[in-house]
Structure formats: C-alpha cells, structure tokens
Chain A
C-alpha cells in the first residue's frame, strides 16, 4: 500500500507535461518568505494557466535580495526566459548595502502586489490617535521607541517619513529593529515599546482580537474592512506601500520584452492568480511596463532622500 502511494506520487511528478517557454524565476530570498511565496504563486499560475510549461523557482538568499540581484544581472543578459521577483525592500537594501548592481541593471516588468504599513500601539497604551503619538514624538523623540523590521527597511523608512512630515528631526527617532515583523509583534504585545510598525496583515488579527490599537495606515486611501485613518488624511503627507514586483533579464530585445510583458499580463488577469491573491490576502496592485518603470524611478529617488535624512546612507 505504502509502495503503491509512493509509486503513484513518483509517477505523478514524472508525468508533468513538458511544454515550451519554460521560465526560471529567481526568488532572491530563502524559502518561505514573501518573495519566495510570490515566486511560487507565479509558478503555480503560469503552469496552471498553460502560459508556461514547467517553471523553476530558484532561491538565492542574501542581503535584502542584493546577492540574488547581482547574480541575476550578471548571468542572464538577453535571456528572455529568466525572471526575478523583488520588492521595495530591495530599493532600500541596494542603497544601504552600497550594492554595485541596482534595479537599473535589470528590466522591470510589473508590480504585482503590495501592502500598506500600519502603525499600532499596545492596547494598554494611553495614546489614542496618531495625533497623540506624533505629539509625544515632538515632545521627546527619544522617549517614543518604535518596534519594527530591519534597519533601513520599509518600516524604518515610514517612521523617518512620518517624523519629517511632523517636523521632527528624522535622525532623532528611536527606532528599534527586530528580526522581521514577528519579533517586533511580541515586543509590542508585551508592552515593551511605545509603538509598533509593520505590514497591515501582520497586525490585523491582533487588532481584531483587541490586543493592540491601530492608529493609522500608510495607504493612499482607507483600506476596506480596516477601521483606521490614513496618515495622509491625518495631516501627514506620507504614502508608503511595500510592493512586490517581477523583473526580467537585462538587454532584452523589444520583441522579447513585449512577449514577457504579455505573459505576465495574462498571468495577472488569470483566475488562478486572482484566487491566490484572495486566499493569501495580497492586494492586487498590478502596474506594468513603462508606467511601472516611471513609478519605480520616483520611489528610488524618494527612498534615497529619506535614507539620507535618517542617516543610513551617506
């Protein structure tokens, strides 16, 4: 019986159809994280929709994606079947790590999904609104400790932007970096810090359970089902989205680039992809081609400015 099941599994794996147009997607991170999940969801959608025969996912972890990015840029020039997943974190990591390879060295294809950042306080905190928190920050920046993800990441950048928008010197924020949003979550729940900042999805279950209070989100409009104002409507001109994208190899011909764009477009419109986004709770922020490239340039410039303000980039 056991042998039968194993044999069946073996046969099923070996019998996968071998079609043409086999993409290889690099996830510049270890298995399990957001970029890896994005790559594997793409793999699934591309295969199920018959856009590509067999899609391989390759993990190259390291340094906020810059290790994978450097390897990708160096080894794939002109190859239309090579894709890489990336995101906003990469923009900051390239700057803080002084990476010689940047997003200019690859061909951005499309933004796929994104998530706003949420600012929370522990349920027991006396601070009730984002205004209260900013007042406390103005009074004594050092006394307001922020728990969030890694230094120079999207959480840190958002705090820097908020401080600047509120007229507080961004170099004086007391940002405490934790490994990933998870450990920060524990510090907030344990009332160890004044405020916390991380992806909305990370905090939402806690907010619903009443263990922390959501003060504001960084999206450009209120999020459906989330009872919190945006930073912008609260009077601080800060809009941040932690997006994820897919890019192609450098040096593609116009025809190749158009073909990749068409494949990704087909994938992003497919039922499989939309269903996956819904089950994973990822927002569809699809933006492709030249529009995305222009948006990317703007974000890189803005990020560089704020990292300079915080003092992370010289």
Chain B
C-alpha cells in the first residue's frame, strides 16, 4: 500500500465521531493548561499525558496529539496578551505580539498565530508524512562544526531583536552569555561559577529565566507605573478579526516560517527557538515597513509562530525515525509513544506502519480541531485583558510561580525567579531589551559545546570549521547578513532607517 493510501486510511479511521470528541477534549485540555502563563508545552504534555492512559489506543493517540498541539498553541496566547512566554520558543512571539495587544490589536495577533500555527502544522505534518526519510538524511549531515556555523548565523541574525540601541542590545546578549557559563561544563565535567550552590551545577534553567524576566519583570514594571496612571492597555481597537491587510501581510510569513521551522526542528540538536529567531530576522529584513518592528508588526507574530509550530512537527522526524528526542517536550512524548507500543527507531515505518499513520492522521485532525476551537475563542481570550489589573497580575504571578515550583520545588529556583525578575525590572527601566538575555542563555552553551566538539574531533585544527559544505555555506550566509546591511547603510539607504530608529525612543 502506498504512503498516500495509508494516510487516507488513517484519516478515515480518525473521523469517527467518538475519536473526534477525544480530539476535542485533548485540544481543550492542552489549550487550557498551556494557556496558563509560565506553563510551557513540556510541562503541559507531562501533566496531561496520564489522562490518555485509560483509553483504547486509537482514542488515546488522538487525544495525545490534541494535547500536544493544544499545549504548543496555548503558550502563544499568554505570550501575546500578557507578555509572559512560558517557554523559550514563544519569547520571539511576545516581542511583536504583545506590542500589538497593547495597541488593541490582540485579536488579529491571536488570529494570525492560530491560523499560522494551523498552516505550519499542516505543512510540517505532511512533510513528516512524506519526506521524513529524506529530511532525516539531511539532518544527519549536520556535525558539530555545522551546528556551530548555524549558531553563528543565529547570533548574527538575532541582532534584529536588539531594539534601537546596539550597545544595550549587545549588553543584554552578553549578560545572557555570562549566565550561560554557570554550571557544569558538559565537555569536561568542570563546575563553573556555582559558588558552592549545588542547585547551580546544572546551570540556569531557560524556562526560569524567561518566566522571571518576562512575567515577574513585567509585573514589577506595570506595578511601578502606579495605580493612578491611565491604563494604556486597550483590549480591542477596531476589529477583533484580521483585516484584509492583515491577511495580505501574514500569508507569506506563515509559509516562510513553516519552511524555516520544519527543517530546523528536524535537526537533532537544532531546537525550536533557533527557527523562531531566524524567521523573525527574515521577516524584519523582508518587511515593507521594517520600522514597524518593535512597535507591533504582524509579520513578526505570523512568521515565528509558524516556525515554532513547524519545528514542533519537525521534532517528530528524528523522534520517530531515530528514536531521538531533541527537546524536553519530545522526551516526554517518547515516554508517551511507548505506552502505545510504538518503539520509535529506524525500523518503525517498516514494522509498524499502521500506528505511525494513525498518529500522523491524529496530528492532522488535532491540528484542524485546534483551529476550530480557537478561532471562535479569540474574542474571549482578548477579554482577558479587561480583567481588573490587581486580579490579572496576581493571577499571572500565581501561575508563573506554579510552573517553576511544579518543575523544581526548590527554594533556590524560586529565589532565582525573584532575582532575575528584579533584573528584568531594572533592564526595562533603563531600556535594555529582554529577549537577547534569553537568546544568549540558549545559544551560548550550544555554540560553545559544538565549537569545542568540532575542534576536539579535528584535534584542534581550526580549518575544520569551514571544511564541510554545510558549515562553509552557513558561515557565508552569516557573513552576508553582517556585511550587506553595512554596505547598504554606507550607500545611504540606511539613513531613513537610522532616522526612524532615533525617533523611536
């Protein structure tokens, strides 16, 4: 039987009304828990996985797919509305999305995120279905030196999230890189900067830093504006739906985000965040109105959100074909697959095609169900912003700390949440961008480890870094990304941008 027939068969089976109901329950539960600020998809999936245990295999598989996609999507809602990303992959979404929400355009931001997630989920799930064997071959070409080149490219492009001051952007990035040095050095087992605190030996948790800097820092900043200050957040201005212009500005970023996110998600050491960084940078470069970035550009929500969801499906490529979990969420999913008797690995597609295809069909159904559930709810979610501020922010902090306590109920972790929250507050006061700190903490260790691995394998020969076609190509792109804007600026085209940037602050 051909691939296509198997998929159709799986889809036909998944359209049973009872299974659709399970999909709806899964998507609802996933969204409901995922939407809580500070609780990301990994924790959502881990918490809700046991709910699927009692059902028959087909039912639990489809509910599981619903929880997974629901949790992925739910995270972006609070990022956009409340500036509280629950995980690193929606940090970039919060940049533009929250600006839009503050300007009363939370509805279109949520809608472009929802439809973008659907489009990306559809493309990437089909990619998983039909291209997995080829994608995985491509992914395995990546060795340490190629990952290092990818990190260099990510570092260069991340400057697009710096805001209006290079000094402050670079400072934020290097603070993140400094935090990344804390903990046991993975390559030698040497402890660094732990000050005798054993909890620091594993380094600083990205989730803790992101929740602290965004949720706690934001709450302090809003509190500091005082109660007398007029509330500058407007729930809805204009339509809650996307306008024709929003559609026209969103569809290309959805597609680009999907095509950036899927292959990067499929890289065993890529990580979902890298795709969102690259997508954001690409949209900023390609946008007709790049000056809107930082002020609430819809492209900056549509692209990264699509990339995030495409890479979530991309993660399933190494997971299913190699048995290789490349994110925390994937590691939990691996445990989930095992309960269905699904042993991910190179022989899975050959030995167990029925299960694989019903999983893929379930993902497609859950993806569609998510859109059905969430588009009508956009109007309701936006009302979140009309909750009186005392209850809203008290609730945000309650759930943000719940996420941290649930993952690791240690006083040290909570103290870090507090300390980084204060740091995020101080940085907001003096106009330092927040996202580069989180980016530095994510990229720093990856870049360092891959560099040292590459050099170790080549016994210290530095030329190894440019001697694979992939690494040479990526580094060339990085060099272009660095040099081209400089040339453009020196030829005068950058003058307008510089003018706009200096006006913005």
- Asked whether the complex places CB atoms of A and B closer than 8 A, the reply is yes
In the complex, are the beta carbons of A66 and B198 less than 8 A apart? yes
Residues of B within 8 A of A143 (CB): 459
Is residue B201 contacting chain A, with contact meaning CB distance below 8 A? yes
In the complex, are the beta carbons of B347 and A209 less than 8 A apart? yes
CB nearest neighbor in B for A209: B346
In the complex, are the beta carbons of A206 and B46 less than 8 A apart? no
Name A5's contact: one of B25, B322, B407 (CB within 8 Å). B25
Q: How near does chain B come to A90, taking the closest CB pair, in angstroms?
A: 13
Is residue A142 contacting chain B, with contact meaning CB distance below 8 A? yes
Q: How far is B457's CA from A281's CA once the two chains are assembled, in angstroms?
A: 33
Interface of B is mostly: helix
CB nearest neighbor in B for A212: B346
In the complex, are the beta carbons of B459 and A185 less than 8 A apart? no
Is residue A145 contacting chain B, with contact meaning CB distance below 8 A? yes
Interface residues of A in 67-107 (CB under 8 A from B): 67, 70, 96-97, 99
Q: How far is B198's CA from A177's CA once the two chains are assembled, in angstroms?
A: 21
Name B268's contact: one of A1, A97, A182 (CB within 8 Å). A182
In the complex, are the beta carbons of A182 and B345 less than 8 A apart? no
Is residue B426 contacting chain A, with contact meaning CB distance below 8 A? no
In the complex, are the beta carbons of B187 and A151 less than 8 A apart? yes
Is residue B453 contacting chain A, with contact meaning CB distance below 8 A? yes
Q: Count the A residues whose beta carbon is within 8 Å of the partner chain — how many?
A: 49
Number of A-B residue pairs having CB atoms within 8 Å of each other in the complex: 125
Interface string of A249-289 (1 = CB under 8 A from B): 00000000000000000000000000000001000000000
Interface string of B238-255 (1 = CB under 8 A from A): 000000000000000000
In the complex, are the beta carbons of A205 and B268 less than 8 A apart? no
In the complex, are the beta carbons of B202 and A63 less than 8 A apart? yes
In the complex, are the beta carbons of B189 and A32 less than 8 A apart? no
Q: How near does chain B come to A171, taking the closest CB pair, in angstroms?
A: 12
Listed stretches B121-129, B135-143, B210-218, B376-384; interface member: B135-143
Interface string of A156-183 (1 = CB under 8 A from B): 0000000000000000001011110011
Is residue A242 contacting chain B, with contact meaning CB distance below 8 A? no
Is residue B352 contacting chain A, with contact meaning CB distance below 8 A? no
Name B46's contact: one of A32, A152, A280 (CB within 8 Å). A32
CB nearest neighbor in B for A70: B198
Q: How near does chain B come to A205, taking the closest CB pair, in angstroms?
A: 3
Q: How near does chain A come to B356, taking the closest CB pair, in angstroms?
A: 15
Q: How far is B459's CA from A143's CA once the two chains are assembled, in angstroms?
A: 7
Interface string of B171-197 (1 = CB under 8 A from A): 000000000000011111101000000
Q: How far is B191's CA from A150's CA once the two chains are assembled, in angstroms?
A: 13
Q: How far is B459's CA from A96's CA once the two chains are assembled, in angstroms?
A: 25
Q: How far is B184's CA from A190's CA once the two chains are assembled, in angstroms?
A: 27
Interface residues of A in 39-69 (CB under 8 A from B): 59-63, 66-67
In the complex, are the beta carbons of A186 and B322 less than 8 A apart? yes
In the complex, are the beta carbons of A190 and B143 less than 8 A apart? yes
Name A61's contact: one of B322, B408, B456 (CB within 8 Å). B408
In the complex, are the beta carbons of B144 and A192 less than 8 A apart? yes
In the complex, are the beta carbons of B21 and A2 less than 8 A apart? yes
Residues of B within 8 A of A179 (CB): 186, 449
Residues of A within 8 A of B202 (CB): 61-63, 67
Residues of B within 8 A of A178 (CB): 453
CB nearest neighbor in B for A6: B25
Name A211's contact: one of B346, B407, B408 (CB within 8 Å). B346
Q: How near does chain A come to B284, taking the closest CB pair, in angstroms?
A: 31
Is residue A9 contacting chain B, with contact meaning CB distance below 8 A? yes
Is residue B343 contacting chain A, with contact meaning CB distance below 8 A? yes
Query: Given A1-B21, A62-B198: A152 and B189 within 8 A (CB)?
Result: yes
Q: How far is B25's CA from A192's CA once the two chains are assembled, in angstroms?
A: 44
Residues of A within 8 A of B9 (CB): none
Name B140's contact: one of A5, A12, A189 (CB within 8 Å). A189
In the complex, are the beta carbons of A176 and B456 less than 8 A apart? yes
CB nearest neighbor in A for B350: A209
In the complex, are the beta carbons of A205 and B186 less than 8 A apart? no
Name B143's contact: one of A5, A61, A192 (CB within 8 Å). A192
Is residue B332 contacting chain A, with contact meaning CB distance below 8 A? yes
In the complex, are the beta carbons of A177 and B186 less than 8 A apart? yes
Residues of A within 8 A of B457 (CB): 145, 174, 176, 192-193
In the complex, are the beta carbons of B346 and A186 less than 8 A apart? no
In the complex, are the beta carbons of A67 and B332 less than 8 A apart? no
Residues of A within 8 A of B166 (CB): none
Residues of B within 8 A of A59 (CB): 408
Query: Given A32-B331, A205-B345: A186 and B189 within 8 A (CB)?
Result: no
Is residue A129 contacting chain B, with contact meaning CB distance below 8 A? no
Is residue A234 contacting chain B, with contact meaning CB distance below 8 A? no
Query: Given A32-B46, A174-B459: A183 and B268 within 8 A (CB)?
Result: yes
Q: How near does chain A come to B446, taking the closest CB pair, in angstroms?
A: 10
In the complex, are the beta carbons of B347 and A312 less than 8 A apart? no
In the complex, are the beta carbons of B268 and A62 less than 8 A apart? no
Is residue B95 contacting chain A, with contact meaning CB distance below 8 A? no
Is residue A239 contacting chain B, with contact meaning CB distance below 8 A? no
In the complex, are the beta carbons of B187 and A176 less than 8 A apart? yes
In the complex, are the beta carbons of A97 and B191 less than 8 A apart? yes
Residues of A within 8 A of B345 (CB): 205-206, 209
Is residue A187 contacting chain B, with contact meaning CB distance below 8 A? yes
Residues of B within 8 A of A229 (CB): none
Q: How near does chain A come to B342, taking the closest CB pair, in angstroms?
A: 12
Query: Given A97-B191, A145-B457, A176-B453: A185 and B322 within 8 A (CB)?
Result: yes
Q: How far is B28's CA from A150's CA once the two chains are assembled, in angstroms?
A: 39
Is residue A208 contacting chain B, with contact meaning CB distance below 8 A? yes
Is residue A31 contacting chain B, with contact meaning CB distance below 8 A? yes
Q: How near does chain A come to B345, taking the closest CB pair, in angstroms?
A: 3
Interface string of B133-160 (1 = CB under 8 A from A): 0000001111110000000000000000
In the complex, are the beta carbons of A182 and B410 less than 8 A apart? no
Q: How far is B458's CA from A176's CA once the two chains are assembled, in angstroms?
A: 11
24 contacts between A and B (CB under 8 A): A6-B25, A9-B54, A30-B407, A33-B331, A60-B410, A62-B202, A63-B184, A63-B202, A67-B198, A151-B187, A151-B189, A174-B456, A176-B187, A176-B453, A177-B186, A177-B188, A182-B268, A182-B325, A185-B322, A186-B140, A186-B269, A186-B322, A189-B140, A190-B141
Q: Which 4 A-B pairs have the closest CB atoms?
A: A205-B345, A209-B346, A63-B201, A192-B143
A62-B198, A152-B189 known, 5 other contacts, Cβ within 8 Å: A2-B21, A66-B198, A151-B185, A185-B268, A209-B345
